[in-house]
Amino acid sequence: MSRTLVFTISQLLTFAAMFCCVVADVHGDAIGINFIGGPHSGGPDGPWIEGTDRFDNPIVNLLDGEVLGPNETDLNWTPGTDYSLLMNRAGVVAQANWNNLAPWSETANSSNGTPRADSSKTGLTSDEGTYFSNTKIAWEADNSWYSRNGSTVDASGNPWPAIDDGDEALMQGYIDVSSSDADVTVQLTNLPFPKYDVYVYIGSSGIQSDGRISRVRLYDYESPATMPNLSDALFYNTDGNDIPADEDDLLTDTYVLSNTGSGFFESRSDYLRATATSEFEAMNRPSNYVKFENQTSSDIQIQLYRDPTYGNMGLAGIQIVEAKNLDLVIDRNSGYAEIRNPNDIPIDIDFYQILSESGGINLDAMLTLEEQDYEGNGASGTGNGWEVLGDSTSSKVSEGYLNGSTQIAPGEAISLGYLYNGNGTEDIRLRYNDLNSDVKNIAAVYTDLFIAGDFNQDGLVNLADYTVWRDTLGSTTDLRANGDDTGASQGVVDMSDYQIWKTNFGMQAGLSSAESQSVPEPHSVSLMALLVATAMAGQRLHTSRT
């Protein structure tokens, strides 16, 4: 793979736009928590207007449980708009059935006279409608607030329109951090998914120019018993000196520069992922959600902290999305690699990278999708198929499908040839854009299950592998049967590869040579000899005609 592809500026911009967009319809199950939040201590905009919400549903007064009549509003509120009750699909990974929690409260029970938003709920509903009765969430916050910040008009002086966009509603209200209590803590226990991604949505009435910065972290625990009491869950420093010993894993703090206030966030196209790992790095990178990938603990704690000198920020919502990821499986012995879909749903991708900080990529033996003409659209260079992006190195190979995508069916595998160079450092990662979710970053799975001569990678060296060798004999592009990639046999399917197959005929993955039938029966040997002679004769005939 020595070819470098050069895109025009417009093509690259188009691809970048595709890469950043999220259109999520097919994904694993998800649990969404929307912190309703909203104003406290009175205000011009309430969660009720004439007894119904924006979906014409009767509204219940959250203070006394009374259903408001058609012309009633709560005593402390003038007619406003239900800004943050979430009924539509929403989230970076779009889902329905959000759990609406933490509504505003007028109960002044904190030290500074403002209402606290401390509570819990056992039993949460998922996107697919499953009720997980044992899953519990508990939260502690100083109060609640909302992004429109008490204003009845937008920056241009026009009345705020009603919110009918689910994503805008999600980012509107939040449980808040104030000067008297600089952190918000949320604990989730008995999460039902074996592997999942966590999306933490950050709300604020500030915009980028306000310079409001907070940091978010996630802890995982062995069990609920090892978690601290919610009221004792202080936001510890990251120097490692005062991290409690029972916290198994403290992930790196992610810093968020707020940008959701004053109508800055209006639809899903406004989602911006936070990736800054320092306050300085975040200063010019506005964002509104943090993602923690590939979590496996059933019990986690999420904390948001801000310096009391900054304006308010808080948690607008949390999304727990069941991970349905591709696998990159690499054989340690041969270096052979495949992208596999082990899930029960198809996965659509339009971009991927193979990354290795140690330089573990074998460029000479890797088989890119462009080289395979995987999508079958012929010569590359137009964006109508997979094409190598930029310069490939032993640390990075990138491919993109500018004007389309590839759907990898459940159980399907895509060969990348002999990708791994065997440098002994198993740090290769697969990064790809899932069109039905977002960008995934997955560590490769290294295995010893592949056997030399098992050209179709089904765990058994048999006549099916001979067929692969026969059909690719002489090829320098389709190297599935390149069992011997040394010396004169490097980069070509030839008789040396046949010898590899013959030597290991009958071997089965997971069994020793004594347990497998490594030496074929006499009639099998005769059959192999006949097959080889036929294959070689066919190759000579093809050569003489060309």
Instruction: Kindly report, residue by residue over 13-25, the tens digit of the pLDDT.
Output: 333 333 333 333 4
Contact partners, residue 437, CB within 8 Å, separation at least 6? 22, 24, 27, 93, 321, 324
Mean pLDDT, range 27-42, rounded to an integer: 76
Contact criterion met (CB below 8 Å) for 319 and 199 = yes
Q: Which residue has the tokens 């902290």?
A: 305
Residues above pLDDT 70, as percent of the chain: 68
Give the Cα separation of 306 and 253 in Å (integer).
12
pLDDT score recorded for residue 418: 86
Q: With 60 as the cut, is the pLDDT of residue 96 above it?
A: yes
Helix, strand, coil fractions of the chain, as percent rounded to 5: 15, 30, 55
Q: With 60 as the cut, is the pLDDT of residue 226 above it?
A: yes
- Could you report the per-residue pLDDT of 312-364, keeping only the tens digit for each? 788 999 999 998 889 999 988 778 899 999 888 899 999 999 999 999 999 99
Q: With 80 as the cut, is the pLDDT of residue 160 above it?
A: no
Contact criterion met (CB below 8 Å) for 208 and 257 = yes
Q: With 60 as the cut, is the pLDDT of residue 9 above it?
A: no
pLDDT score recorded for residue 237: 47
Of these ranges, 30-39, 137-146, 283-292, the one predicted with the greatest mean pLDDT is 283-292
Q: With 70 as the cut, is the pLDDT of residue 290 above it?
A: yes
Q: With 70 as the cut, is the pLDDT of residue 492 above it?
A: yes
42: its two tokens: 């009175």
Give the Cα separation of 218 and 313 in Å (integer).
17
pLDDT score recorded for residue 11: 40
Mean pLDDT of the chain: 75
Q: With 80 as the cut, is the pLDDT of residue 247 above it?
A: no
CA angle 125, 146, 174 (to 5 degrees): 35
Q: With 70 as the cut, is the pLDDT of residue 142 above it?
A: yes
Mean pLDDT, range 196-202, rounded to an integer: 94
pLDDT score recorded for residue 245: 38
Q: At what angle do helices 463-472 and 522-545 cross, to 10 degrees?
A: 10
Mean pLDDT, range 118-138, rounded to an integer: 90
pLDDT score recorded for residue 178: 67
Give the Cα separation of 471 and 127 in Å (integer).
47
68: its two tokens: 């408001």
pLDDT score recorded for residue 525: 46
Residues above pLDDT 90, as percent of the chain: 28
pLDDT score recorded for residue 398: 96
Q: With 80 as the cut, is the pLDDT of residue 545 above it?
A: no
Give the Cα separation of 328 and 199 in Å (integer).
24
Q: With 50 as the cut, is the pLDDT of residue 149 above it?
A: yes
Nearest to 177 by CA among 148, 211, 152, 212: 212
Distances (CA, A) of 492 to 217, 470, 495, 535: 50, 13, 10, 16
142: its two tokens: 């100083």
pLDDT score recorded for residue 214: 87
Residue 208 is classified by DSSP as: G
Q: With 70 as the cut, is the pLDDT of residue 289 above it?
A: yes
Q: Which of 66-70, 226-230, 497-501 has the lowest mean pLDDT?
A: 66-70
pLDDT score recorded for residue 79: 32
State the pLDDT confidence band at 231, using cuts at 50, 70 and 90.
Answer: low
127: its two tokens: 């996107």
Mean pLDDT, range 193-200, rounded to an integer: 93
CATH of the domain spanning 327-447, picked from 1.20.120, 1.10.3470, 2.40.10, 2.60.40: 2.60.40
228: its two tokens: 């601290």
pLDDT score recorded for residue 49: 32
Contact partners, residue 349, CB within 8 Å, separation at least 6? 326, 401, 405, 406, 408, 432, 433, 434, 435
State the pLDDT confidence band at 536, using cuts at 50, 70 and 90.
Answer: low
State the pLDDT confidence band at 392, using cuts at 50, 70 and 90.
Answer: very high
Q: With 50 as the cut, is the pLDDT of residue 100 above it?
A: yes
Q: What residue ranges do the domains of the chain occupy?
A: 23-42+92-240+249-323, 327-447, 460-508
pLDDT score recorded for residue 133: 94
DSSP for 326-365, written as a single string = -EEEEETTT-EEEEE--SSS-EEEEEEEEE-TT--B-TTT
- In 283-428, DSSP assigns E strands to 289-295, 299-306, 313-322, 327-331, 336-340, 347-355, 386-388, 396-401, 406-408, 413-418
Of these ranges, 51-60, 183-192, 443-452, 481-490, the one predicted with the greatest mean pLDDT is 183-192
pLDDT score recorded for residue 6: 39
Work out whether strand 254-257 and strand 131-140 pair parallel, antiparallel, or are unpaired: unpaired
Q: Which residue has the higher pLDDT, 154 or 188?
A: 188
